Structure 1
Amino acid sequence: MNTRYQVPAAGPRVPGLAVFPLAGRQGVRAAGEVGLTTRAIWEGVLEQAVREDEDVYYLELSDVTFVDVAGAGALAAAAGQLRDGRRFVVRRPPPALRRTLDLLWPDQAGIEVSTS
């Protein structure tokens, strides 16, 4: 993925989301929040990832401070569209995303969460 997405924060109450390609591996690094104002970017990233050909697609989320339940649902839905054997590796997600995935999508085989 060579596309860089960004929605800057418009003020102290409007979160932003920036997404950059990872160097040396298939995936992206995101920074900011996934919520109502940034969900279209998040969903676009996930749609592109589903179209990619790699078995593993990395989502580096160490600089993401929040993912709402709709953003978690978009991740679960995208993982459900992956062909057999493919998966998302979600690295260092915000704690709320991990809890939401564990609670609502505990058996989603297409998502591997890594805290390291």
Structure 2
Amino acid sequence: MSGPEPAWPLPAVAVPTPAVPRLDVRPLAGRTGFRAAGEVSLPTRGIWERALERAVREGEDVYHLELSALTFVDVAGVGALAEAARSLGGGRRLVLDRPPDTVPRMLDLLWPGLPGIEVVPS
């Protein structure tokens, strides 16, 4: 025989809900480019891809991406970055300022020797 039956109703247990990933993209002051903060993943991919498309369309020779406030970038996000760099042409380049360590590693592993990207480490 088991112990006493639990009292009803059972006490409510707080179940944490996962935070919705966010990505904030803002223009840089004083130079051409944007600052990205947050996470690049499936829920934020559209924001990331639109920002990269704009970088390609603007036609600047050098476009700065300040990435030190990114907390995560998935492989598809790095792939979008590689595709943007591929579409630049004409000696243009994206300068990645302080990206998360995983970004240059994925670029080196999956897109070695990709022209159009310069990484400025922290």
Counterpart of 1:89 in structure 2 is: 95
Counterpart of 2:108 in structure 1 is: 102
Q: Partner letter of residue 110 of structure 1?
A: G
More strand by share: 1
Counterpart of 2:55 in structure 1 is: 49
Q: Distance in 2 between the 1:23 and 1:13 partners?
A: 30
Task: Extract structure 1 runs of 4+ deviating beyond 4 A.
Answer: none
Residue ranges of structure 1 left out of the alignment (5+ in a row): 1-10
- Mapping for residues 1-116 of structure 1, pairs under 5 Å: 12-116=18-122
State percent identity of aligned pairs: 66
Q: Distance in 2 between the 1:53 and 1:36 partners?
A: 27
Q: Distance in 1 between the 2:119 and 2:29 partners?
A: 20
Q: Secondary structure at the match of 1:108?
A: coil
Q: Partner letter of residue 101 of structure 2?
A: P
Aligned length: 106
Residue ranges of structure 2 left out of the alignment (5+ in a row): 1-16
Q: Taking structure 1 as the reference length, what is the TM-score of the superposition?
A: 0.87
Q: Secondary structure at the match of 1:37?
A: helix
Q: Taking structure 2 as the reference length, what is the TM-score of the superposition?
A: 0.83
Shift of 1:70: 0.2
Q: Partner letter of residue 91 of structure 1?
A: D
Which string of whole-angstrom CA distances, capped at 9 and with x for unpartnered residues, describes residues 72-111 of structure 1? Answer: 0000001100022100000100111111011011111111
Q: Is the 8 A contact 1:66 1:97 kept in 2?
A: no
Determine which structure has more spread, i.e. the larger CA radius of gyration.
2
